[in-house]
Amino acid sequence: MITGLLFLILLLYMIGKNENLFGSTFRLRAQFGNVQGLTSGNNIRYAGIQVGTVKKVRILNDTLIEVVMLIETKMKDFIRKNAVVSIGTDGLMGNHVLNITPVAGTADLVGDNDILPVKKMESVDDMMQTLAKTNEDVAVIASQLKNTVLRINSSTAVWEILDDKTVPQHIRSSLINVRSATAKASRLISDLQLVLSDIRDGKGSLGAIITDSSFAQNLQAALLRINEVGADADTLAKTINSLTRQVQDDLDRGGGTANVLLKDSTFARNLRESILNIREGTDGFNEIMEAMKHSFLFRGYFRNLEKQKKANLLLKQ
């Protein structure tokens, strides 16, 4: 009777622990850094379906804990090696469970004693700490909001603004102005887009400048010519400067052609007399030519010359 009673107690304990005494199972393993209170006998779910129980939880080293899982043999056809294991709870404060989540992608089916990858989940303690920190922040925000409300209530300027009936009209006018400015900006952007489109199509002077390759070549050639003219101008300026310095040196020394032309009074007097002589000689030559026109020896020649000039004028007309 004692033996039967002990066997009955053991059987009830095994059933309570979901040891799957009457079904075939196989083992899978997962390794966690923190099992969050997971114990032997906790349920295992695959995509939310009960598929096994935790066989044992053992410590491998100071940072790694291994969980051995008993899984129903029929699940070998569904669980793949890329499935992820995570620790969850039944409800908010229920018992811990192991969740096996399938992952999209191709992978081999699991075999006996395979190790599945794990996913770190936030523990209840971590969530409580985060909630406590959030509560502290909310308390600070509520205190600051209370102070702000008190300052607003004690401020006469704010209530004067709120009681001023002209404020809505001013706000409405400002909104109208903003709407008008927005419309103008929209039209300006549209015009700019049209200008840019014309420029891309090569229309107008700016479009021709940007898109016409021959214009660019001509512009480059013109710039080269300008550079050449600038170089020639520099050379000419240097030559003029050199000539100016030479003339100045001649004037300073009292020699040279420039000094004779500008400072020699004798040369100037001689030059003036020469010009007068040339003018007198020219007048005498004109008188001689006029006398020859009336001479019977050359009168016919000059008449023929006049007729020839008149004929040439008629031909030109």
Q: List 54's β-bridge partners, or say none.
A: 69
Residue linked to tokens 């699991």: 110
Q: Closest Cα partner for 70 from 117, 107, 22?
A: 22
Q: Rounded distance, CA 179 to CA 173, Å?
A: 10
Q: Rounded distance, CA 248 to CA 226, Å?
A: 32
What does pTM read for this prediction? 0.39
CA-CA-CA-CA torsion sign (239, 244, 248, 254): positive
For residue 109, give the amino acid letter: L
Q: How far is CA 47 from CA 66, 85, 286, in A?
A: 22, 11, 133
Q: Rounded distance, CA 214 to CA 300, Å?
A: 67
Q: Rounded distance, CA 104 to CA 101, Å?
A: 10
pLDDT of residue 117: 93
Q: Rounded distance, CA 94 to CA 88, Å?
A: 9
Q: Rounded distance, CA 116 to CA 99, Å?
A: 12
Q: Per residue of the chain (317 residues), what is the pLDDT tens digit?
A: 888 888 788 776 665 555 555 568 899 999 998 888 888 889 999 988 999 999 999 999 988 999 999 999 999 899 999 999 998 887 666 688 999 999 988 889 999 999 999 987 666 667 777 888 888 888 889 888 888 888 877 777 766 776 777 877 878 888 888 888 888 888 888 888 887 887 777 776 666 666 666 766 777 777 788 888 777 777 888 888 887 777 677 666 766 665 656 666 676 677 777 778 787 777 777 777 777 667 666 667 667 777 887 888 877 76
pLDDT of residue 254: 64
Strands 84-89 and 96-101: antiparallel
Q: Rounded distance, CA 46 to CA 28, Å?
A: 13
Label residues 68-77 b or e (16+ Cβ within 10 Å = b). Answer: ebbbbeebee
SS3 assignment for 138-166: HHHHHHHHHHHHHHHHHCHHHHHHHHCCH
Please calculate the CA angle 162-166-169 and round it to the nearest 5 degrees.
Answer: 110
pLDDT of residue 31: 92
